[in-house]
C-alpha cells in the first residue's frame, strides 16, 4: 500500500512540474487564472472573499481579496472559476491605486484597495422593445493582498522532488547492475543473505547477481 502511494505521489509530482512548465511558456501570450469565491456573512452590500492563482508574463501570483458586491439578497457567487485572456501583464508592472507594493528580482508583495467598479445594467423596459440601461456600481474592493514569484522559481521548486526520485531510481539501477546494495552501495560480491554494511536482506536474481530486498531487514 505504501509503495502504491509513493508511485501515485511521484506521478502527481511529475504532472505538477510539467503543468508549471507548460504554464510558464504559455504565460508570455496568455493569462491563466483559477479563482475560488465564497460569500461571507452580511448583506447590503454582499461581502465576498476570493482566493486566486494567476500565471501571467513569466510570473505566478497567489492572492486573496475581499469585496462588497451590490447584489440581491439571495445572490451567490460561482465557487470555482477559470479565466484566460490575451495580453498578460506581469504583476510587477500592475499599477497600485491606494496601497503599496514591494518588488525585487521578479519577486513581489502587494497590498492594495480599490474604488467602485461599475457596469451598465437594465433598469427599465417598455413595450415595443425599448430598454434603458444605467451605469451602476457592482462592487467595491476592500482589500487585495498578493505575492508573486518568477515562473522559473516555481518550476524549480516543483521539480525538486521529481528530480530526486529520478536520481534515486537511476542510482538503484546502476547499483543493481554492479551487484551493489541498493540501500548503501556496499559491494555485495561474495555476500550470502544480508548486506554486511547495513543488514539489508539479499536474494539471488536469475543472473546470479545478489539483489537487495529493500524494506526487509
Q: What is the pLDDT of residues 126-137, one digit of tens each?
A: 555 555 555 555
pTM assigned to the model: 0.72
Q: Where are the domains of the chain?
A: 30-150, 159-212
In whole angstroms, how large is the CA radius of gyration of the chain?
28
Quick one: which H or E segment has residue 165?
helix 160-177
Q: What is the tally of helices (H) and strands (E) in the chain?
A: 3, 10
CA angle 56-58-61, nearest 5°? 55
Maximum distance among all alpha carbons in the chain?
A: 98
* Residue 197 clears pLDDT 50, i.e. is over it: yes
Count the Cβ atoms, other than its own, within 10 Å of residue 71: 17
| Cell numbers for 119 | 457596469
CA distance 32 to 55: 5
Count Cβ atoms below 10 Å from residue 62 Cβ, excluding itself: 14
Give me the pLDDT at residue 118, please: 53
Amino acid at each position: 500500500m505504501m509503495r502504491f502511494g509513493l508511485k501515485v505521489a511521484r506521478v502527481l509530482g511529475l504532472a505538477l512540474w510539467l503543468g508549471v512548465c507548460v504554464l510558464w511558456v504559455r504565460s508570455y501570450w496568455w493569462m491563466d487564472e483559477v479563482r475560488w469565491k465564497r460569500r461571507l456573512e452580511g448583506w447590503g452590500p454582499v461581502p465576498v472573499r476570493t482566493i486566486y492563482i494567476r500565471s501571467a508574463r513569466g510570473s505566478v501570483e497567489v492572492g486573496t481579496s475581499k469585496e462588497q458586491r451590490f447584489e440581491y439578497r439571495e445572490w451567490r457567487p460561482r465557487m470555482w472559476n477559470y479565466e484566460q485572456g490575451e495580453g498578460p501583464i506581469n504583476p510587477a508592472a500592475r499599477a497600485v491605486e491606494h496601497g503599496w507594493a514591494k518588488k525585487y528580482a521578479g519577486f513581489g508583495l502587494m497590498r492594495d484597495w480599490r474604488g467602485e467598479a461599475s457596469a451598465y445594467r437594465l433598469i427599465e423596459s417598455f413595450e415595443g422593445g425599448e430598454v434603458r440601461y444605467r451605469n451602476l456600481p457592482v462592487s467595491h474592493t476592500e482589500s487585495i493582498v498578493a505575492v508573486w514569484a518568477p515562473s522559473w522559481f516555481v518550476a524549480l521548486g516543483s521539480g525538486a522532488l521529481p528530480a530526486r526520485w529520478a536520481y534515486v531510481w537511476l542510482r538503484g539501477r546502476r547499483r543493481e547492475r554492479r551487484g551493489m546494495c541498493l540501500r548503501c552501495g556496499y559491494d555485495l560480491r561474495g555476500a550470502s543473505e544480508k548486506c554486511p554494511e547495513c543488514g539489508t536482506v539479499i536474494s539471488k536474481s536469475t543472473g546470479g547477481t545478489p539483489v537487495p530486498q529493500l524494506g526487509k531487514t
